[in-house]
Structure 1
């Protein structure tokens, strides 16, 4: 929101006092039409199925990566698989938020699903690591839209007070997919072929797309295609994309495929600064409809919560990426068993995300659960060092469950917190930024830990006294360690273990930063829980003082019995599709 000089500001939330009163009691409840459960349930089912499809892709890949790296003889490039995905996932986050306002939610999410399926097909038919990296980049474009639009659509369907509960359900869907994914991926790798890890997404799309088309009914903005295309901030999108490339790519390449002082790495880091400055200048001075309005950076809660998201992404995805590799390499598990070993982590996420979401909806407070979630996560990740010292299955289960119980609380609470901190017109934008910063953090986390792992591994092998033939084999593929003669294999495995401990040690300060940032969060009161409307035709009587948003809501409800979509750039909503 644009604040004039002298506008009284609430010291706790950072919002104008006049707006915080509306936010806490009126606006967020009255600009969302709470549907009866018989209408809300099928619509929510469509969103959940879409999220499951994209989340399954995330979790199924990590189990297959050791096999893919071995087949393409490029194990030193496996971190790039995640980096390519994250870069494109992030590059178009702001664009998806604006597109959903301009073109409507359903057309935008169908576009994202189409891109996602194309990337999955190309991933499955890849014949080289370079082709596979390109396919994963394309998949990331689609997945970025699916994740962002799921959060935005849920905000269209339910009030802010109920949103914690439903976000908890979505987090549970994520946990289920993360539970099923490694097991399914391991079964494909061990019994069939790793390519089915990607072809399975097409089978899910056949179910998901018709479900979304039939069950999800949202208003669609009016206007011709050309005027909508012109409304998009293309320059801002471009500089946002290349900023992500110049930040994430050299972080992954440095210390792995290229030296940190190589001209390529230095040049890309150097180009990141002017790219970010150009993006901020365009958003502040040039763009008529900026994908990230500059005033959001003055919102204390938005900045704090986005910072927490960075470190949450670094923490959680480092675990999701490296733990399956740890169990396959160090514990000698098959790909299937490595997936099964991840069950306690996902069980913790499933349980804690649902409990936190329900409590947020019941009591209207999110700060306590963000605090306890980050605190427990620090404890769990610190215990990973104990996990690395033992082969006890009981200890493995306990440590992973504690990690899941901590991180799981953050999935529903962080998105509710950031949505509650802005006006409704900025909801799509902050939802997209929420995903952008989390995935940026995940890219940095995996890249930094990948560089530490690879550097420690290479230096350890080079000074180990193991013949060059076997050290080169160990560097080329972790799965080929079994081919090393037994007299050298133990030494190589010890070096791999020490390298993995380096990853766990580096993840601890990431989690600690996430915990410390929770002390900066200001609480924004959530509105009293709205009761569902008995019939779709019934009108909500606005309280005195509501202006344009409530008037538009009343006009739209006369033309369609559907939840109100977030309006973008004052466009009219005319038809429901």
Structure 2
């Protein structure tokens, strides 16, 4: 086999002439575009920008939907009589979003990007209508599950379509712009939810999705026309779907998430109702990866993890997601308990993270496009994130506003630097033919990390509260804080007085300090993982079978 070595040290096969095994990252060369078009790069005409607008709208509405429910959920639960199903009213969407993403990756490889993306938006729209029109909790949970099945595809396909539109070197810049649209949705989601609940019915928290989805479809349907790879008949296309792998994956991830979401809420962590789904889920994931090793067309091929760069950056993706959710989960708890703020003020107080994460992510993308170096950005990012978590251990009732705001700014910078530069680093060592599976795996790991980012601090916090309860002399308060009750009791701390107040604040402060120490340790692991990365030159030309259709090769790139 004749091979051509790239500047990054990886190999591309030119012609197969023997049965000699290629290096792990060697792949058959994809048919390139016309040289003159490749040299001039991607032409960003009106169609490109309209499609990109559609991606930003889809990211915006999916981010709003994830966050809008938090302020509306108490009202929804009360009106539908679902107090006992509170956990699933809020988390059914997360479960569906996380488990479905690799399936969309395979559909995108088989049928192209256009139809899965349109279908995912349509499913999300349908779920919004069902949730908004719910008459009982079962209907609401069903609507949220349908929304999640659509939202999971939207979230994953947005990143993938950016990969199809732009060469590797430019992707992080545009991923940063989409991240900005998502972040805006995340910031204003709770505000919109609170305003809707206050001024009108909670149902508009879901009906509001309908006009935005209609606008997104109005942009996507006429302008997002793509090639669909190699054309096959429907029977052959359906035969390519890894039904066994998808079943194992969805069932296993669902089982794990059921354990994580219900643990400590609907059943204690040491209960068989929590342990059994976790054990079955992880055993199922083990069986899934064994099956993937022998599958002809897997949804998560093991080759994605055979290169040290892709393997370590996937782990970094998991840690960054944990870190972001860690801040979003723990900081409001600190403000409502130790600082005695309202839930609304607590939400406002964490805005510095988003305010600096968004521009930092955009800046990191621009720097990667300019210099083509992702490893320094990851080093700096995890260094700053580790420092911010270490500083968070100093938080107390007397911490000044300027101090905790700067701690949050550092966290936003530490998260933003790797957030938009991880996917290009993963794809630098993989061929363009793996764009869909690498992106779906990246999106899944990110969503899975969000769940762990709420679960780990909750477990640590509750265990430390139980260990420190002996300092609280009031038996009523001590009972309210025990066995996972401290999180819900946070809003009542401001009503305590005297010695009981000080004792309770000591429990919260000391317990939260340990939570931040654990987060610091996890962020340090992310920093150490950067040492495992290998620099690979980012491709500056676009080689894809799924670009925008047009009359010329050059327009295909545009």
TM range (shorter): 0.7 to 0.9
66 and 304 in structure 1: CA distance in 2 versus 1, 3 angstrom threshold: farther
Q: Which of 448, 469, 481 does residue 492 from structure 2 map onto? A: 481
Unaligned runs of 5+ in 2: 15-22
Contact persistence 2:340–2:493 (CA under 8 A): no
443 and 476 in structure 1: CA distance in 2 versus 1, 3 angstrom threshold: closer
Q: Is 1:219 equivalent to 2:227 in the alignment?
A: yes
CA deviation digits over 1:498-544, x for unaligned, max 9? 444443333222211111111111111013478xxxxxxxxxxxxxx
485 and 169 in structure 1: CA distance in 2 versus 1, 3 angstrom threshold: closer
Alpha-carbon shift at residue 230 of structure 1 (Å)? 2.6
Contact persistence 1:92–1:241 (CA under 8 A): yes
Matched residue, 1:163: 171
Q: Is 1:354 equivalent to 2:362 in the alignment?
A: yes
Contact persistence 1:113–1:143 (CA under 8 A): yes
SS of the residue corresponding to residue 409 of structure 1 reads helix
Farther off after superposition, 163-172 or 473-482: 473-482
Farther off after superposition, 554-563 or 515-524: 554-563
218 and 209 in structure 1: CA distance in 2 versus 1, 3 angstrom threshold: same
Farther off after superposition, 200-209 or 488-497: 488-497
Q: Is 1:307 equivalent to 2:307 in the alignment?
A: no
Matched residue, 2:414: 406
Matched residue, 2:279: 270
554 and 263 in structure 1: CA distance in 2 versus 1, 3 angstrom threshold: closer
Contact persistence 1:187–1:336 (CA under 8 A): no
SS of the residue corresponding to residue 556 of structure 2 reads coil
Alpha-carbon shift at residue 359 of structure 1 (Å)? 1.1
Q: Is 1:367 equivalent to 2:375 in the alignment?
A: yes
Alpha-carbon shift at residue 123 of structure 1 (Å)? 4.5
SS of the residue corresponding to residue 296 of structure 1 reads helix
Q: Which of 508, 520, 538 does residue 508 from structure 1 map onto? A: 520
Q: State how far apart, in whole Å, the 2-side matches of 1:338 and 1:113 are.
A: 32
205 and 509 in structure 1: CA distance in 2 versus 1, 3 angstrom threshold: same
Alpha-carbon shift at residue 39 of structure 1 (Å)? 3.0
SS of the residue corresponding to residue 539 of structure 2 reads coil
Aligned runs of 1:327-346 on 2, under 5 Å? 327-346=335-354
Alpha-carbon shift at residue 72 of structure 1 (Å)? 8.3
12 and 490 in structure 1: CA distance in 2 versus 1, 3 angstrom threshold: same
Unaligned runs of 5+ in 1: 531-548, 566-577
Aligned runs of 1:449-460 on 2, under 5 Å? 449-457=457-465
CA deviation digits over 1:309-332, x for unaligned, max 9? 111111111212333344344434
Contact persistence 1:461–1:495 (CA under 8 A): yes
SS of the residue corresponding to residue 328 of structure 2 reads helix
Matched residue, 2:102: 94
372 and 405 in structure 1: CA distance in 2 versus 1, 3 angstrom threshold: same
CA deviation digits over 1:316-360, x for unaligned, max 9? 112123333443444343444333323211111121111111111
Farther off after superposition, 415-424 or 16-25: 16-25
Q: Which of 147, 153, 160 does residue 145 from structure 1 map onto? A: 153
Q: Is 1:397 equivalent to 2:405 in the alignment?
A: yes
Contact persistence 1:219–1:562 (CA under 8 A): no
Aligned runs of 1:407-446 on 2, under 5 Å? 407-446=415-454
Contact persistence 2:248–2:288 (CA under 8 A): yes
SS of the residue corresponding to residue 152 of structure 1 reads helix
Q: State how far apart, in whole Å, the 2-side matches of 1:22 and 1:223 are.
A: 23
Q: State how far apart, in whole Å, the 2-side matches of 1:273 and 1:366 are.
A: 32
TM-score, structure 2 as length reference: 0.83
Matched residue, 2:19: none
CA deviation digits over 1:414-456, x for unaligned, max 9? 0111122211110111001011111212212211222223344
Contact persistence 1:346–1:404 (CA under 8 A): yes
Alpha-carbon shift at residue 407 of structure 1 (Å)? 0.6
Matched residue, 1:248: 257
Contact persistence 1:60–1:184 (CA under 8 A): yes
What is the root-mean-square deviation in Å for CA atoms of aligned residues?
4.0
SS of the residue corresponding to residue 251 of structure 2 reads helix
24 and 337 in structure 1: CA distance in 2 versus 1, 3 angstrom threshold: farther
Q: State how far apart, in whole Å, the 1-side matches of 2:158 and 2:101 are.
A: 13
Counting matched residue pairs gives 541
Larger RCO: Structure 1 or Structure 2 (Cα < 8 Å, ≥ 6 residues apart)?
A: 1
